Amino acid sequence: MAHKILIVEDESKIARFLELELKYEGYEVEIASNGREGLEKGLNPEIDLIILDLMLPILSGIEVCRRIRNSSNVPIIMLTAKDDVSDKVMGLDMGADDYLTKPFAIEELLARIRVALKREVTKKEASNSELIFNNLILDKNKRQVLINDDEIILTKKEFELLVYLLENRNIVLSRETILEKVWGFEYYGDTNIIDVYIRYLRGKIDQKYSLNMIHTVRGVGYVIKDD
Ligand code: CA
């Protein structure tokens, strides 16, 4: 699917020029011609990247950037006037990913867009699928657990239990909570099953690799703690 780029730029000639170039490159394009419109459209989760001019009516580009960053990590490339160093610094402080000084070559902007979008894809893939704890790498998409490149073979429930513990690391999880979240409604037995599965995991991971990953919290439950 084509990436959707929002151009926030009040100078209509520049906006139109960028729109044509980006569409030619296969991007979908939206335009906002003032800061408030830029903020509204920029918060739409369908937008994959924002090109944000700093000198804007109603709401400045810096302010738009700051407010978007309160709730979104969408890549933002700022366009700044020549020599306006303080604006650049402020924009980057407000969480912009990159900036270009006007006038710029369109090839330069296209290159920056490709880099920013690629970085975003890499970040998303990593955050969506991998859970890492010291030497252990769990890949949810591949349903694979590696320790020092050895593959650890886990049953379905062992795997799900480990995912749940890793996703909630540093939080003590009660047996009841684990039972509800990992076993759900398919299981009607008592919470001793948790102790049994924790023992399986410890046998395959903690003991085999001399790790101290899963901690018992007496009278409560279990936790995976960062060192
Ligand atoms: Ca402007």
Q: Is 115 exposed, middle or buried (0-12, 13-18, 19+ CB in 10 A)?
A: middle
Tell me if the pTM is above 0.85: no
CA atoms within 13 A on the CB side of 81: 9
CATH number of the domain enclosing 28 = 3.40.50.2300
- Cα of 79 vs centre of ligand 1, distance in Å, is 9
CB-CB neighbours of 21 under 10 Å: 15
Whether residue 84 is predicted with pLDDT greater than 90 in this model: the reply is no
- Give the least confident one: 7-16, 79-88, 188-197: 79-88
Q: How far is Cα 162 from Cα 147, in angstroms, rounded to an integer? A: 13
Q: Is 110 exposed, middle or buried (0-12, 13-18, 19+ CB in 10 A)?
A: middle
Give the domain range for residue 187: 130-224
Handedness of CA 180, 185, 188, 192 (dihedral sign): negative
Which of 70, 93, 128 is a domain's end point? 128
- Cα of 46 vs centre of ligand 1, distance in Å, is 24
> Nearest to residue 5, comparing CAs of 102, 126, 20?
20
Q: List CB-based neighbours of ion ligand 1 within 5 Å.
A: 10, 53, 55
pLDDT digits (tens, 9 = 90+) for 208-227: 988 889 999 998 999 998 76
**pLDDT classification of 141: cutoffs 50, 70, 90:** confident
- Cα of 82 vs centre of ligand 1, distance in Å, is 12
Judge if 88 and 154 occupy the same domain.
no
- Cα of 61 vs centre of ligand 1, distance in Å, is 9
CATH number of the domain enclosing 189 = 1.10.10.10
Whether residue 36 is predicted with pLDDT greater than 80 in this model: the reply is yes
pLDDT of residue 226: 76
- Cα of 55 vs centre of ligand 1, distance in Å, is 4
Whether residue 156 is predicted with pLDDT greater than 70 in this model: the reply is yes
**pLDDT classification of 82: cutoffs 50, 70, 90:** low
Q: Which residue has the tokens 């918060």?
A: 43
pLDDT digits (tens, 9 = 90+) for 94-125: 788 888 888 889 999 999 999 999 888 777 76
The SS3 call for residue 53 is strand
- Cα of 51 vs centre of ligand 1, distance in Å, is 12
pLDDT of residue 49: 97
Which of 106, 128, 150 is a domain's end point? 128
182 contacts 162 by C-beta, under 8 angstroms: no
Q: How far is Cα 62 from Cα 55, in angstroms, rounded to an integer? A: 9
Judge if 116 and 22 occupy the same domain.
yes
- Pick 226 or 178 by higher pLDDT: 178
- Cα of 49 vs centre of ligand 1, distance in Å, is 18
- Cα of 1 vs centre of ligand 1, distance in Å, is 30
- Cα of 54 vs centre of ligand 1, distance in Å, is 6
Judge if 16 and 122 occupy the same domain.
yes
Judge if 137 and 117 occupy the same domain.
no
Which of 76, 93, 128 is a domain's end point? 128
Judge if 197 and 168 occupy the same domain.
yes
